[in-house]
Structure 1
């Protein structure tokens, strides 16, 4: 029986445990050349999956070290490594337990993924606070005698600067990196978002300064971890001196799909994980190539992981459709067009913060048993919660929206008005006051009767106090809405059919069920032009080839997918034409309008001196990909 089966799901979540599948571990170990390492450590060893993986690909280290907070997992690790010479396993928190004084040839780990914000216990295990983790990390770095003063300065800056609300994986990265000897290897299982999210900027800055990123392999179908909510990546980096120049930034960027799995291994048609690793190291093309079945890769020069996001890359199957002209295609990112992308509003408690309007009644969620609530009209903001509220067009029709966001900025209950510090606030009607009191004393669900709405992590942060400690904001008052909450454009994050972008001309609030886009530069690409571009067959084919396919065959379009989407480098004439077509798409959508969009985009991708039928070819590619994933959902789109 696996460790996952033995440990309760809630317990695992609290400890941030996503144990590494042996096939994933073997591939990571092979990529990290574990067989040549004389010393290996996993400072968050879990049940020793990664250390076992190193042994299975030929590692015979003189020293094999693991540290683990959870005694249940560590017992499994001891059983798994029983009899292996040089093994040292320690029970404890890696941020406070005594660490080996020497540096290691290979540090390999799959850090826990959970935000530690307050002290708690899980089965008697002390879960450290964020402050405790930071203090322990600073002590550990300061005590590394093999780190030079310059090295310590770099690591200590990172340890002091990463956000306190970060996932514990961030300090785990920093600690692990501090244990690598010069010339040694850091190998980590990481969430895909580490390349773009602000919370990991300190990690990326440190890696740019002290490491050469050799390989990044992405789990394109989110198939490596059944219980994880995001796609993961395998990251392999080699330590270098701070004074040394990077090795030209030659990084192999690879994307795996379910088809890479063969006979229990991630090797496609190759003979072993070692052969996969060798094949990836042999990639020299800057255009994606097929390494083996289920694995595409390209070489990226000058990769700076401290920079937000990734460069645009045309996926292999789209490049194949372009044919010989693929190398001449000029593409750029959404950010280069002056736009950003993120996720819509995550309220933390939708059953409270969203109500329905059925004229003339304002109705909260059914669980409250209230047919009508006299919420002030100015507190009710029109909101898009689901795709089925949007109709057939390409723009938000506010009259069709049944949902309203309860936005109580400037409004408080009568009792809270008495508690407040100086400031103006309106008093909510008595029935609303009563409803808020009812919600405040209600558990989120019967499965967790001790967790009340105001105590939810995303809700509790709404509470604010002034310098004297008096409250000025309360749990039921959402913070100020950001551009990502009221975007100019948005797409559904889960698409059963063709991904579709919508125009949000009236600025309604958009829920976290959608990926959102908004302009940030004065000269940004016009919204109507981007609307047309996002609804083109070019974008459709690219998303089918790069986004995650969920179990039921739906396509998951995340902000990270949009950040790295390869968009054509448009001329001024093409921008003007697309803006016109975008307006037509909103006002009078038709097949003719969409075909015209496809032609403008295709003409922008293919050089002017080339005659091409790219537009219809892209539609065929995208349609086949959608049909394929809709049929069985078992592999990523793009395989006819």
Structure 2
């Protein structure tokens, strides 16, 4: 059976680009589809469904792999894509509508399938447009969640307890997640026991908190078989993020997410863009047989079955510990309400730490099994810096002169300047470009300043005898003029003007007088929290592996562009010791391998990543780290000091220090190299060209 193959690529490209972007459509193409179909053993499936079928690439790919299913069906919400899919695949049951609508699902010829294969839409709920043409309209976030909950009752592959647990997952996934997350849940619910789930998904599923719920679903109801990575973000020319293929086999629900053999693994495969030909992402590999994707899948199954590693210039395959993946998932999920609602916390003790696979493998090679704790358990808190909501007003460039600071404003207040006393102008670190040489941020290095008007008010807001304003001083005349100008400025756009006090993060500043407290004006920032004045900080978005800085005396405000850490009174840690540890080879390797990789290859390090950071037991070494951190902050012999820090950390890990730091930094560099491939659309082979 050969169905309309010539219609796919050109037909897909003909679609209106703006509509495709709105709908999150990145059509797979039959070459990539054949690879996914082969790894999912589509040729053995008796029933195949694509709930987000698009123009039919994935279903057609199954036919090209030799699939002869008794049932094949697709669901598509976009009428143009639906018409193309139906014309291209006349033997398939094609249904027009939303896959999250129970009425649409009821029109399918079956509700449980041997293979569910899909490329879910890459789009956030926030991107949904009320202006969409009705034929292309996407359901709202509420409609998707409600429809998915109702659809669970139609799924014969789920027993009563499965449905109860799935309903908790549906209720619990984050509203900030992209549409791929509910798509995963839907697709998983449609797979028969013994059947397979095969998906094209954004790489963010590996590291984003909102995708943890997907990991849980996979580990409890499936055996993950393959994760295939697009090393150079080359599979989709018009997408800004890397993608992965996921293939998993449905099994009977496990009693717990961690109830699996300790030695269980899945196969992780990285494919270079240089492996691709115009016809296939693996077209340049030297493979036997007439069908390269089937030959590759056969080889990949051998790697998985025997837990083998394999590396050439074009392909890298290695076994990954499912047990470690599950433990990391528990560390990520332990703070989330849905996890507790499932009852998992009763039987799963978690130290709340996340050990990346590369780090886990390194420890195994070193023959050590250190115990880890989270920062929180050791009295170190983690958060995010100050978010003013109106940086163009609250922040200014400045030059200190004694007890005064000369301020100049940009943005909506461009051209305004004034002088403010240190009681009002507070030193602030706004962005990475303001970071000084060395490892210390202080008022002496500050180039930006924040307007802290919590103790001051405009003269017009201080009527004579007004007890409501009694605690406030009258702000200096020059500062008052800036405030008045900000009150008249447009902080929105020319199309949608906004006053400063209407901004989402500024509006909550306005509070009337109550219970003896004076009125709080829009120009007054909220009280600063420890996360705004931390001990140490590191940038949230990094092109290189992040470097940690000491906030000397907690004297500088730190902007939300930075993740922040501060020490509680009961902790054994000192600020200088924390600085030392966070610049160690261990810390850099862990951060590099646990942060979230962004579309352009930058590494995002959020507070959530640092809260799960694996901290070894230092016993009496905290003072030693503090002394080394003080030396590092002093700026003398930084390289030798960091080497001494690495020795202390290696000892805490139970490692022979010899070579440990070099190996860890090599792991970090490899992570940087992997990220760099995000912006490379053409891979370069650095070895032979055989599989």
Structure 1 window deviating more from structure 2 (373-382 vs 354-363): it is 373-382
Query: Does the Cα contact within 8 Å between 2:265 and 2:307 map onto a contact in 1?
Result: no
Structure 1 185/551 Cα, relative in aligned 2: closer, same or farther at 3 Å?
closer
- The structure 2 residue matched to 1:580, chosen from 623, 627, 648, is 627
Q: Which residue of structure 1 aligns with residue 582 of structure 2?
A: 534
With the length of structure 1 as denominator, give the TM-score of the two structures.
Answer: 0.75
C-alpha distance after superposition, 1:18-59 (max 9, x if no partner): 444655544443443333222222222233343344444443
Query: Does the Cα contact within 8 Å between 1:193 and 1:560 map onto a contact in 2?
Result: no
Structure 2 distance, partners of 1:25, 1:407, is: 57
- The structure 2 residue matched to 1:110, chosen from 103, 119, 132, is 119
- The structure 1 residue matched to 2:358, chosen from 283, 300, 315, is 315
Query: Does the Cα contact within 8 Å between 1:489 and 1:517 map onto a contact in 2?
Result: yes
Q: CA deviation at 1:107?
A: 1.9
Q: CA deviation at 1:580?
A: 1.9
**1:397 aligned onto 2:455:** no
Structure 1 distance, partners of 2:142, 2:388, is: 26
Q: Which residue of structure 1 aligns with residue 186 of structure 2?
A: 175
Structure 1 218/557 Cα, relative in aligned 2: closer, same or farther at 3 Å?
farther
Structure 1 window deviating more from structure 2 (175-184 vs 112-121): it is 112-121
C-alpha distance after superposition, 1:292-347 (max 9, x if no partner): 7334442232625354078424639994xx9x953436475766875676765677
Q: Which residue of structure 2 aligns with residue 593 of structure 1?
A: 641
Structure 1 distance, partners of 2:609, 2:267, is: 17
Matches within 5 A, 1:508-523: 508-511=556-559, 513-517=561-565, 523=571
Q: Which residue of structure 2 aligns with residue 88 of structure 1?
A: 94
Matches within 5 A, 1:223-242: 224-225=235-236, 227-228=238-239, 230-242=241-253
Q: Which residue of structure 1 aligns with residue 516 of structure 2?
A: none
Structure 1 distance, partners of 2:221, 2:482, is: 60
Structure 2 distance, partners of 1:538, 1:293, is: 28
SS of equivalent residue, structure 2 residue 247: strand
**1:612 aligned onto 2:658:** yes
Q: Which residue of structure 1 aligns with residue 429 of structure 2?
A: 384
Q: Which residue of structure 2 aligns with residue 150 of structure 1?
A: 161
SS of equivalent residue, structure 1 residue 47: coil
Q: Which residue of structure 2 aligns with residue 357 of structure 1?
A: 398
Q: CA deviation at 1:225?
A: 4.7
Structure 2 distance, partners of 1:119, 1:253, is: 39
C-alpha distance after superposition, 1:540-569 (max 9, x if no partner): 5666778789999x7635349966999684
Q: Which residue of structure 1 aligns with residue 51 of structure 2?
A: 43
Q: Which residue of structure 2 aligns with residue 136 of structure 1?
A: 147
Structure 1 503/54 Cα, relative in aligned 2: closer, same or farther at 3 Å?
farther
With the length of structure 2 as denominator, give the TM-score of the two structures.
Answer: 0.70
Structure 1 97/438 Cα, relative in aligned 2: closer, same or farther at 3 Å?
farther
Q: CA deviation at 1:486?
A: 5.2
5+ residue gaps, structure 1: 418-422, 444-448, 467-471
Query: Does the Cα contact within 8 Å between 1:325 and 1:606 map onto a contact in 2?
Result: no
Structure 2 distance, partners of 1:411, 1:114, is: 45
Query: Does the Cα contact within 8 Å between 1:330 and 1:605 map onto a contact in 2?
Result: yes
Q: Which residue of structure 2 aligns with residue 432 of structure 1?
A: 483
SS of equivalent residue, structure 1 residue 432: helix
Structure 1 622/209 Cα, relative in aligned 2: closer, same or farther at 3 Å?
closer
Tell me how large the CA RMSD over aligned residues is: 5.2
Structure 1 353/566 Cα, relative in aligned 2: closer, same or farther at 3 Å?
closer
**1:258 aligned onto 2:272:** yes
Structure 1 546/151 Cα, relative in aligned 2: closer, same or farther at 3 Å?
closer
Q: Which has the higher contact order (CA 8 A, sep 6+)?
A: 2
- The structure 2 residue matched to 1:326, chosen from 366, 386, 392, is 366
Query: Does the Cα contact within 8 Å between 2:20 and 2:26 map onto a contact in 1?
Result: yes
Query: Does the Cα contact within 8 Å between 1:290 and 1:316 map onto a contact in 2?
Result: no
Q: CA deviation at 1:281?
A: 1.7
SS of equivalent residue, structure 2 residue 115: strand
Structure 2 distance, partners of 1:318, 1:148, is: 37
Matches within 5 A, 1:155-554: 155-194=166-205, 197-218=208-229, 224-225=235-236, 227-228=238-239, 230-242=241-253, 247-248=260-261, 250-252=264-266, 254=268, 256=270, 258=272, 261-263=275-277, 264-266=280-282, 271=287, 272=293, 273-275=296-298, 277-282=300-305, 284=307, 290=311, 293-301=315-323, 303=326, 305-308=329-332, 311-313=354-356, 315=358, 319=362, 325-328=365-368, 330=370, 332=372, 338=378, 351=392, 354-358=395-399, 360-366=405-411, 368-372=413-417, 382-404=427-449, 429=480, 431-440=482-491, 442-443=492-493, 450-452=495-497, 460=504, 487-493=534-540, 495=542, 499-505=546-552, 506=554, 508-511=556-559, 513-517=561-565, 523=571, 526-540=574-588
The structure number with the bigger radius of gyration is: 2
C-alpha distance after superposition, 1:153-210 (max 9, x if no partner): 2222222233444433332222222222222222333444445655345444444543
Structure 1 distance, partners of 2:131, 2:63, is: 33
Query: Does the Cα contact within 8 Å between 2:43 and 2:66 map onto a contact in 1?
Result: yes
- The structure 2 residue matched to 1:126, chosen from 113, 137, 149, is 137
Query: Does the Cα contact within 8 Å between 1:29 and 1:53 map onto a contact in 2?
Result: yes
Structure 1 476/158 Cα, relative in aligned 2: closer, same or farther at 3 Å?
farther
The total of aligned residue pairs comes to: 613
Structure 1 distance, partners of 2:529, 2:240, is: 25
Structure 1 window deviating more from structure 2 (262-271 vs 395-404): it is 262-271
C-alpha distance after superposition, 1:88-138 (max 9, x if no partner): 242446336510252112222333343325761324433322222222222
